[in-house]
Structure 1
């Protein structure tokens, strides 16, 4: 046997930084590999330094987009009472139903829940969605108030009891400005006023209590922003948190093509259209103390159900073309030919007649 015949046969394993680059799979993953010898059992080779199992299950392809974590867009609150601001909350405070937003002439302005703003004084005989909100809030606070949108004598009695408990003058009617309807529990943002400021001006901004995320996708990826779909948010710590898409809107911004000068008309500036995606986060505790942060948002672009997949690094290039896996069994290895499918997160879908779940394939140590 010649010296050349005694040399062990080698296969090219996909690895970074060796050989020629090739683009593989539907995700456009770029991989670099070395091309070597043929196939066949290696017989007496030592046990490989590392192995990974062939897995059968679902494989999801994702696309990552930049995102931001915050408490949502702020809403401005302007006072509707004449007088002087005598007390303010602190930025970052949370205020819930029945609690004080601020004080005017030492009278508390109360937060109640509802979508209809307080646009008038409310008194017995009035009807409307604002009255319905008032009745609902009084019941939620423990007062006996009627159902429906009518301000009845029962509403008057409940308001009297509520005013007494709040230290207000008992009148049986609700003065415009002493109540502010907000969507739910809120978080105080920026204080616009200070003690001693006129009350009929900007007081503060607020957001929702819960943190949410927004992400921006190119218009071509609009199909990824399906309402109700789940996404993964990767926090600065590397922790992954689940989110759910609650909405998406098309937004435009100025984008220069680099050919214009100073943004003057006809200078080459263009409108850039993107998709702004709103994301709700159910597990607020998983966010820790993060208030405002940059995050990565992973959108699912494709899912393959019940497929075989292995780490990308398990692939070896076969002589004559194609790819295989080095399967280790009983202390020996053999090459199993496979066809490649989808790539995702370091995994690759593989198809082959000899594959079964749990097979051990060699991977770089």
Structure 2
């Protein structure tokens, strides 16, 4: 038989347990409830401007390319006649300029003259024409300043012609000054008026289209590399580069950048632009086809930089939102400070950072907002 007081005690205990469970349940919150309440809360992400190295990464493969060469004489015009070499006065490495005696083919001298002189006829005393005027200008450039530009062959013009032969150790045409003849077939021309001999025929050999008297290089060897569009845009003429090849390394500069070119059919070159780089003296002995590694020089200096993820853009250009400058005290307010828009000028980018121009309103240590 249950006593009434026991029933009362049991009832009170059960009531207390239920009350405690209710109170505990009201204090414990489900994770889903917390997430729902915080769904509109923005957690600010910030970064800082820093003094650091921002080295652009550039890695290109280039190769040595031969300069332009021209045959002397140019037999592609269809000229015919004796082809035996009877004299050769220059060899590989020699420089050629107006007045240089190269050699002789079938006894006929081959002397360099200015490339703007029309060569098509012999000229003697009192002959006149525009070709005479150009010949006289060419003679003056060669150092014969006493030759007047009259457009008419005079004794002083013929005397300069005689001296060209005499200085080359050749017999001068004509017995006297007045009967000297400018024999146009004795003269040859080089584009740009100068060059370097890379190949010369031997005496008793025969010249042909494939074996000229001399092969002349009129422009120096260069280094060529195909760059992607974004890479080429960072390499305007004058840009300093670092070159490295198996036997050495040196610095050089960009000479020219081509227009946009398509990729080749063999897929060895992607679409992009060809970058022409001056061949430094240290690499003068590299043969055409030699591969060269190309990179930007390492400066190793710290510059003002901000993370790329903090940079925003609008119609006015690039900017960052400054929350607090390095020399400003931390805010004691519960709400974060309103960001201030500061325009920036980007000078270089690398490894997630952007070098920017120095700005008094954006010193190193400035806190910026990451959007």
TM class, shorter-length: 0.5 to 0.7
Structure showing greater radius of gyration is: 2
Residue of structure 1 in register with 2:227 after alignment = 217
**CA apart distance, 1:206:** 1.9
**Separation of aligned partners in 1, 2:240 and 2:152:** 46
More helix by share: 2
**CA apart distance, 1:179:** 1.7
Provide Cα deviations, 1:8-42, integer angstroms capped at 9, x if missing partner: xxxxxxxxxxxxxxxxxxxxxxxxxxxxxxxxxxx
Pick one of 250, 273, 279 that aligns with 1:240.
Answer: 250
Q: Quickly say closer, same or farther: Cα 1:219–1:75, change in 2 above 3 A.
A: farther
**Separation of aligned partners in 1, 2:291 and 2:134:** 37
Residue of structure 2 in register with 1:308 after alignment = 304
The within-5 A match list for 1:175-190 is 175-182=183-190, 183-190=192-199
The gaps in structure 1 that reach 5 residues or longer are: 1-53, 258-269, 310-340, 357-365
**Separation of aligned partners in 1, 2:138 and 2:270:** 45
Residue of structure 2 in register with 1:96 after alignment = 97
**CA apart distance, 1:234:** 0.2
- Whether the aligned pair in 2 keeps the contact of 1:82 and 1:198 (CA below 8 Å) is no
Matched, 1:196 2:192: no
**CA apart distance, 1:214:** 2.3
Pick one of 289, 292, 295 that aligns with 1:295.
Answer: 292
Q: Quickly say closer, same or farther: Cα 1:272–1:55, change in 2 above 3 A.
A: closer
Q: TM-score, normalised on structure 1?
A: 0.52
- Whether the aligned pair in 2 keeps the contact of 1:118 and 1:180 (CA below 8 Å) is no
Matched, 1:208 2:228: no
**Separation of aligned partners in 2, 1:211 and 1:247:** 16
Residue of structure 1 in register with 2:87 after alignment = 87
Residue of structure 2 in register with 1:142 after alignment = 143
Provide Cα deviations, 1:268-318, integer angstroms capped at 9, x if missing partner: xx996442333345xx54445445433234479xx9x99337xxxxxxxxx
- Whether the aligned pair in 1 keeps the contact of 2:226 and 2:270 (CA below 8 Å) is no
More strand by share: 1
The within-5 A match list for 1:44-55 is none
Matched, 1:158 2:167: no
- Whether the aligned pair in 2 keeps the contact of 1:71 and 1:208 (CA below 8 Å) is no
Q: Quickly say closer, same or farther: Cα 1:241–1:271, change in 2 above 3 A.
A: closer
Matched, 1:123 2:119: no
**CA apart distance, 1:188:** 2.1
Residue of structure 1 in register with 2:113 after alignment = 112
Q: Quickly say closer, same or farther: Cα 1:250–1:126, change in 2 above 3 A.
A: farther
**Separation of aligned partners in 1, 2:227 and 2:208:** 41
Alignment RMSD: 4.5
- Whether the aligned pair in 2 keeps the contact of 1:255 and 1:272 (CA below 8 Å) is no
**Separation of aligned partners in 2, 1:308 and 1:93:** 52
- Whether the aligned pair in 2 keeps the contact of 1:190 and 1:205 (CA below 8 Å) is yes
